[in-house]
Chain A
Amino acid sequence: MLGNDVVDLELAQHQIRWETKAFQQKVLHPLEIKKYKDKVLGFTDFWKIWSCKEVAYKAHQRKFNLKPRLNPFDFSVSEISTSRSEVKIDNYKCEVASFINPNFIYSIIHNPEAVSSQNFEISSYNSYFKKDLNRNCLNHMLHKDKNGIPYIKINSSFKPISITHHGKYVAFQFQDKTDLNFLWNADILKS
């Protein structure tokens, strides 16, 4: 399963409508609307929910090879702990890990090996996350299928990749650690 999402919290500050009822009604699942009706949903909480939905959307879309849809309201997020959530859509569910700090939220399909390090970089056996990473370095290797699902061409074969980019942050997640190692050794993952 692949899915990752980063929210640059500085950029999200400019998304001034997140707090409005109109915006939240288009994003939250009916159960979430009910849950947060009488509670104040804070800035970080809202964007963590959003980020978990994005992760689940990417994993679900790839698994079932679906056309792009704008349906955040179909995903319901329940918190297991501050950094772990379960996301459900129809009969599909997945667990998402979120790394939260004052600068960003990075969410990824749960993987016990993912750890957050002190310099705000997150390492995981199959993902690469960095501030100010130049995304263009990978662009010439990227391909999207008819549904817009991304793949990366490595040694003439197409490997699944999940990409997220928001503000200052870019992150990639690969199916195999070997793909990450290949790009690293080829000096493609440069800042």
Chain B
Amino acid sequence: MKEDLIIQKLKAIVEPYVNNQSAFSNLSKESSFISDLEINSAHLVDVILDVEDEFDIRIENEEMEQMTSVGASLNIIQQKIS
């Protein structure tokens, strides 16, 4: 799956949980889920579950703990689906 498509899917997953819309419209690989997009931490768990469903993968705890930005999540999804 192409990187652009993964980011597009990730963007659709996080959208309902985003509290900072201007950070969302400028979303990049560097965007942090917590400090930029201001996603409530309980919803970060929802993001992880949604990623598992969308990409049909299982995220282990040690991977989940790194998934605090778009780029970090992209890397983990890429490793898992390749």
Contacts and interface: CB of A to CB of B under 8 A. Distances in A.
Interface of A: 7, 12, 15, 17-18, 22-23, 26-27, 50, 54, 67-74, 144, 148, 166
A71 B35 CA distance: 16
Helix, strand, loop or mixed for chain A's interface? helix
B35 A144 contact: yes
A69 B33 CA distance: 11
Interface in B20-42: 32, 34-35, 40-42
Helix, strand, loop or mixed for chain B's interface? helix
Nearest to A8: B40
Interface residues of B, number: 19
B40 A69 contact: no
What 3 pairs across the A-B complex have the smallest Cβ distances? Answer: A148-B35, A71-B65, A68-B68
A23 B34 contact: no
- Among A22, A68, A69, max chain B CB count under 10 A is at A68
B49 A22 contact: yes
Given A26-B64, A74-B65, 19 more contacts: A7-B42, A17-B46, A22-B52, A26-B45, A27-B45, A50-B42, A68-B32, A69-B65, A69-B68, A70-B41, A70-B45, A70-B48, A70-B64, A70-B66, A72-B45, A144-B35, A148-B34, A148-B35, A166-B40
Given A23-B49, A26-B45, A70 B35 contact: no
Nearest to A150: B35
B67 interface: yes
B66 to A, nearest CB: 7
Contacts of B52: 22
Nearest to A74: B65
B44 interface: yes
A22 B11 CA distance: 22
A57 B11 CA distance: 26
A144 to B, nearest CB: 6
A67 B65 CA distance: 10
Contacts of B68: 67-70
Contacts of A7: 42
